[in-house]
Amino acid sequence: MTETTPQPRKRLYIRTFGCQMNVYDSDRMADVLAPLGYGPAPSPEEADMVILNTCHIRERASEKVFSDLGRLRVLKDAKAERGEQMVLAVAGCVAQAEGKEIVSRAPWVDIVLGPQTYHRLPEMVARAARAAGAQIDTDFPVEQKFDLLPEVRASQGPIAFLTIQEGCDKFCSFCVVPYTRGAEFSRPVAAILAEARRLVASGAREIALLGQNVNAWHGEAPDGATWDLTRLLYALAEIDGLPRIRYTTSHPRDMDAGLIRAHGAIPQLMPFLHLPVQSGSDRVLAAMNRGHKADLFLRICDELRAARPDIALSSDFIVGHPGETAADHAATMALVERVGFALAYSFTYSQRPGTPAAGQPLQVAQAEKDARLQELQALLRQQQDAFNEACVGQDCAVLFTGPGRHPGQVMGRTPWLQPVHAMGPLSLVGQTAPVRIAERYPNSLSAILLDQKELACA
């Protein structure tokens, strides 16, 4: 008799905020809860358990969470009137930073857990069912978390994400990550390679390595040696059936010569790198405690392009850090002009309670921050459009990931991470196929499928 998997008895809805690492964490929470009988719910209204997996990076992050919790209270009360139960949990970085505040302002929340404790979620669910009052767990047992998590259960599809490093020791003045994710921790080599092989076996054709400072990863190998990210990338490139590898997010201080050379030496390593610089002003970079100057960032960009001429660069920028002057902003604009970015993310500085910059004098007026951001974003948009326009008429290989918006259309990603749509069969999903870029749109490209023989180099 063939053994079958029991049908889920309960329904789980997870709303994920913020970074791709939170997406990875949400998937793992679903894995952890599956043995308890939880399967996916399409909406909070249809769920027996709702988890808000939160992010503290964006402005007013906690207020957005409390707004969601207010709406969820109505659903929870309605279920209770019908004699049903909804378990409500808040996870992630807002939970880590404001655990007691959450249960004080929203006492209908059952569970509050930080990003390093979701392996304990089944135990917390059981305790919440037995006892009155919220269950709070915001410790930092990062090693224990990875040791106790089950193997990845569900396929992530053609593009999969794999956390190899968590936490941060950099303590940038504007950032809450060291306080919400804890100190840097690197997963061991064997665990990473085993998870990567499982992802490939379940259909992944591209793996993106994740970490708050992913290029600071230094993992222990089975023989006791310590590997750096470069050596790990070479090992991943040896996995059969894995044609694409990426990693994010990196810090300029950890971009060493070996890692730069790897971009030209490993064909599976995609020609796209996200490398946040935050500012082009050395004075502001020092105030941010970034630990590098603009010249180092520019030198890294030049060396990356020497190693891999077709590499596309992406970055992050914060406008209006306390004390930033018009001259500092001009230095950022000059750096952007000098580098030329295919993609970038830019924001005005906002105060994060508990971070060094929050209490600094010379806070920049919001109107001035907004004006500087508009000027920066106009230049970044111009560069992104120019990069995408230069791709029109070019041939490349696209990894197709799913159906498009229109009938007969499939979607995918270029080696430079651009979204692409083309007319083609759904059988292409999970495959890399040659295309010719036909047209540029504001946030995507259209392409025409090519016969394999027509493409000189896919």
393-435 per-position pLDDT tens digit = 999 999 999 999 999 999 999 999 999 999 999 999 999 999 9
Asked if the bond preceding 325 is cis, omega within 30° of 0, the reply is no
Give the pLDDT score at 120. Answer: 83
Give the pLDDT score at 232. Answer: 98
Give the pLDDT score at 454. Answer: 46
Name the percent of the chain in helix, strand, coil, to the closest 5: 40, 25, 35
At which residue do the structure tokens 């692409």 appear?
Answer: 420
Q: Of 162, 230, 175, 251, which is closest to residue 202 (Cα–Cα)?
A: 162
Helix (H) or strand (E) run with residue 228 in it:
strand 226-228
pLDDT, tens only, 225-242: 999 999 999 999 999 999
**Domain spanning 144-389: CATH superfamily:** tm_1862 like domain (3.80.30.20)
At which residue do the structure tokens 């830019």 appear?
Answer: 346
- Assess contact for 288 and 352: CB atoms under 8 A: no
What's the rounded Cα separation, in Å, for the pair 19 and 435?
30
Give the pLDDT score at 456. Answer: 40
What class is the 10-139 domain? alpha beta
Per DSSP, what are the bridge partners of residue 160? Answer: 207
Give the pLDDT score at 4. Answer: 46
Judge whether 19 is annotated as a binding position: yes
Kindly give the parts of the chain with pLDDT less than 70.
Answer: 1-8, 57-61, 131-133, 137-155, 353, 452-458
Judge whether 457 is annotated as a binding position: no
Query: Would the pTM of this model clear 0.85, i.e. be above it?
Result: no
- Assess contact for 239 and 206: CB atoms under 8 A: no
Q: Of 51, 95, 46, 101, which is closest to residue 75 (Cα–Cα)?
A: 46
Both tokens assigned to 358: 């929050």
Give the pLDDT score at 269. Answer: 98
Give the pLDDT score at 3. Answer: 42
The CATH number of the structural domain formed by 395-454 is 2.40.50.140
Judge whether 301 is annotated as a binding position: no
Strand bridging mode 206-210 / 244-248? parallel
pLDDT, tens only, 54-81: 887 665 667 888 899 999 999 999 998 9
Judge whether 396 is annotated as a binding position: no
Q: Which residues contact 223 (CB under 8 A, 6 or more apart)?
A: none
Both tokens assigned to 221: 């190998």
Asked if domains 144-389 and 395-454 share a fold, the reply is no
Judge whether 391 is annotated as a binding position: no
Q: Which residues contact 302 (CB under 8 A, 6 or more apart)?
A: none
Give the pLDDT score at 135. Answer: 77
Q: HSE (CB half, 13 Å, CA atoms) of 175? A: 20
Q: Where are the domains of the chain?
A: 10-139, 144-389, 395-454
The pLDDT mean for the chain works out to 90
